[in-house]
A and B are shown apart, each in its own frame.
Chain A
Amino acid sequence: MSLKNVFKRWEFILLVLIVAELAFFGILSPGFLNLGNLLYSTNDFAHVLIVAIPFTLVVITGGIDISVPSTMGLVSIIFGLTWKFAGFPIWLAVIAALGTGILAGAINGLFVANTDINPIVLTLGTQFLYSGLATGLSGSIGASGYNGIGGFPDGFNNLAYGMVFGLPNALVFSLLFAAAIGVFLAKTSTGRSLYLVGVNRNAALFSGIKVKRSTVTTYVLTGLGAAVAGIYLTAYFTSSRSDIGHDALMPILTAVVLGGTDINGGAGTILGTIIAAVLLGYLKQGLMTIGVTSDVSQVMVGIILIVTIVGKVLAGNAAQARLNRAALKKIGSS
């Protein structure tokens, strides 16, 4: 596709920005550029990465999913619950947790695909419901508040801290997941149809594309991503909590938008999302290293989100105006 030329440039710019920011923080705090440190700190934002990947698909088809944070929390609680109170072996609890995420995504997807209710409203509602369920469940087993359910076997907790081939587990998983979804999106017919649905839903329908099926798929994959992220965070914090991932929506959304995906659908790449997520993740890490609190970095992420979109609009207007002025000059004054 010829659009690839445009995107290639933007992803390249993002890469340059990563290098620049690493250099910036490295200068302010020399220990920052330690390779081991850099790799290890990806654990902090791996959950954003994992969810942002399928989230990109949802946005490409013109939808949005506000419920991912609450899905993560619900998954975490289900995991803890089934392990501690239903006596599930760890691997079965993991499966139960994954299933919860898939179910949550499927519910979102089915509602979005089969009703004309706005995805924002729908997922706002399911977010409310899922987080309510998470709170309710954790309260009913006495795990509310800051304690959560703990005491998982070390093997499980090490999932979040272990390494494979010298790279942190979470990073490896994220990259593999990204590769799989990225190839799916760019090269398979179902993946291609997602773009078409995002650009012109009606035309996609008339072309014989199974629009409903595509829509549901994107939400199910997002639910799955949220489940994996929820399980990961549970291991990372060594406890099951209903509010796990509660502040993850903004970084996820910002990563997708900053990565070049059009919020109205029809354009975007997985590569862009990953690079943007890494950019944002290291931004937070770097800020922490130089002593800036995570609250301030949250403010910055929010500003980046707004500025990105405003910037796109302004750039688009400027480009149009430039083209029009040039054309006007050509005809002179008649």
Chain B
Amino acid sequence: MAVTTETLISMKSIWKFFGGVAVLKGVDLDLRAGEVHSLLGGNGSGKSTLMKILSGAYVKDQGTVEAGGRPVVFAGPEAAHEQGIYLVPQEPKVFPNMSVFENVICGMRAKPAEMLGLVQKYAQDLGFEGSLSDEASSLSIANQQLVEIIRGLVRDARVLILDEPTSTLTFKEVKSLFETIRLLTSKGIGIFFISHRLNEILEISDRVSVLRDGVIVMTEPTSTLSSGDLVRAMLPAGEAKVELENAARGEVRADAPILFEASHLTGEGFTDVSFKVREGEVLGFAGVVGAGRTELAHAILGLDSFASGDVLMRGKKLTRRSPRACQDAGIGYLPEDRHLHGIFLDLPNVDTMTAGILSRLGKPFISRKREDEVAKKYIDELQIKVSSGAQVSRTLSGGNQQKVVISKILSAGPELVILDEPTRGVDAKARLDVYRLIRSLKKSGISVILISSDLSEVIQESDRILVMHNGRIEAEFAQGDFDLERITASAFGIAG
């Protein structure tokens, strides 16, 4: 990584509003040639918005952007391309019905025949598997991402923005991507690397900036930082490090009855998974993204029509699984993506909270009183920061939105709660509340399956840990054997 002192991009005092709410509140950020500059921040901190402004997809409300020392104003993405800036989106945007080659040169003014040689060269350099004439719909996500990177190179990009590039890649593909990044920076290209994966940031970047609440709170060389430093930088000012006594967790009786059993579940993303959960047990599912845990959860819920294998509650097999059937059987699921699958953003909180128990709110007519009672109950219990149940969910912070969805799950009175990445995009205070919730659930005899990519969190909260890697259960750890290094190694598929 040949970092130079040449500044490619300089952003000063960038402000951006959406509907009167400031998402970026005066951001200062710069990028040097040959540098990998990581941008870290929680969900909703504004990382994507900032990069979309830089790449011409959004228009800033105030502030300046300088490229190569001169101020630039982008009317659209094409203008940014002309300045050598290219954004590789979090989810690659390929055209499924066009060939790879057409995908790469789409929108460019040069004649296709002229571009062929260049595209072939880049494809080869980056180790692209497959032919340029393949239809893009047949590409794996990793290869789709390569297509995006080639798009940038072919447009003479000097600045590449990689937005959460590793969230859908396997371990091997991540390694491959990092090699590509090193290759590119050796040629003087500057890279913005947006991620929330601390270990990757520490491995690949030269500098790290942390974006919190719309401002950059820290920009430092990576060599001077530890993951603890990064975590602390993301916490609101004045928050002490999260500490909870292991002792307060309580014990699981070894002879507690088996509540839930998954038997030889196989589906898209996971193979032959079997495990049991006892009453009052917190079972942690550790792994990296892509290990298949969410796919497993969806299959348990009956959302994967290809899954084979059985799910049993208290020894009784669930014959036809669906979210409704699982709920009736006592299984609750907190979705990994709360915006997509969990919350009704533009409706009042109470609507989300009661969405699972509509038929219990009164027959034949929904009792407004009962609705409000439910809302009040969970606002108090989970300490949700809202004025009332009538407040529209979109105006809530990530942590409070998560609590609203949790209310919905709990309102149905489950015996087993599956939490899928419950603290993702949640501020530190709300995170504490989630941990408290897990413990109180356990105390009241409700079992929890905790799916999380935050391995310290899994260790902290679980009674037992299963590690999934590449769709299989790789290892099991009993409470006495919790060891962060060994669990991490398992999660990455390294035999320990």
Contacts and interface: CB of A to CB of B under 8 A. Distances in A.
Q: Do chains A and B touch in the complex (CB under 8 A)?
A: yes
Interface of A: 1-3, 183, 187-190, 192-193, 195-196, 199-200, 202-210, 266, 319-320, 323-324, 326-328, 331, 333-334
B366 A324 contact: no
Contact of B355 (A3, A204, A324, A327): A204
Contact of B412 (A196, A208, A323): A208
A327 B21 contact: yes
B21 to A, nearest CB: 7
Contacts of B408: 207
A199 B341 CA distance: 11
A210 B19 CA distance: 34
A187 B366 CA distance: 5
Interface stretch (B138-146, B228-236, B264-272, B342-350): B342-350
A328 B26 CA distance: 12
25 contacts: A1-B348, A2-B390, A189-B361, A189-B366, A192-B358, A193-B355, A195-B351, A200-B345, A202-B341, A203-B335, A203-B342, A203-B355, A206-B301, A206-B333, A207-B356, A208-B327, A208-B355, A209-B324, A320-B18, A323-B17, A323-B20, A328-B15, A331-B15, A331-B25, A333-B62
A250 B122 CA distance: 54
B249 to A, nearest CB: 29
A204 B327 CA distance: 13
Given A187-B366, A189-B366, A208-B356, A327 B20 contact: yes
Contacts of B26: 331, 334
Contacts of B348: 1-3
A270 to B, nearest CB: 15
A94 B6 CA distance: 83
A187 B341 contact: no
Contacts of B347: 1, 3, 195-196, 199, 266
Nearest to B405: A203
A203 B301 CA distance: 13
Contact of B390 (A1, A193, A196, A266): A1
Interface string B391-424: 1100000000000000010001000000000000
B342 A206 contact: yes
Contacts of A266: 346-347
Q: How large is the interface on B (under 10, 10 to 19, 20 to 34, 35 or more residues)?
A: 35 or more
A203 B337 CA distance: 10
A192 B348 CA distance: 13
Contacts of B306: none
A328 B22 CA distance: 9
Contacts of A204: 355
Interface in B317-340: 323-324, 326-328, 333, 335, 340
Contact of B366 (A188, A206, A320, A334): A188
Contact of B19 (A188, A193, A320): A320
A188 B363 CA distance: 8
A208 B392 contact: no
Contacts of A190: 358
B232 to A, nearest CB: 27
Please provide the 10 A-B residue pairs with the shortest distance between their CB atoms, ordered closest to farther. Answer: A323-B20, A189-B358, A207-B355, A187-B365, A208-B324, A324-B17, A208-B327, A2-B390, A206-B341, A189-B359
Contact of A334 (B13, B17, B356, B390): B13
A203 B351 contact: no
A333 B12 CA distance: 13
Contacts of A208: 323-324, 326-328, 355-356, 412
Contacts of B333: 206
B251 interface: no
A207 B18 CA distance: 29
A324 B333 CA distance: 37
Contacts of B355: 193, 196, 203-204, 207-209
Nearest to B390: A2
A194 B412 CA distance: 20
Contact of A327 (B17, B326, B359, B391): B17
A3 B366 CA distance: 17
B344 A199 contact: yes
A203 B62 contact: no
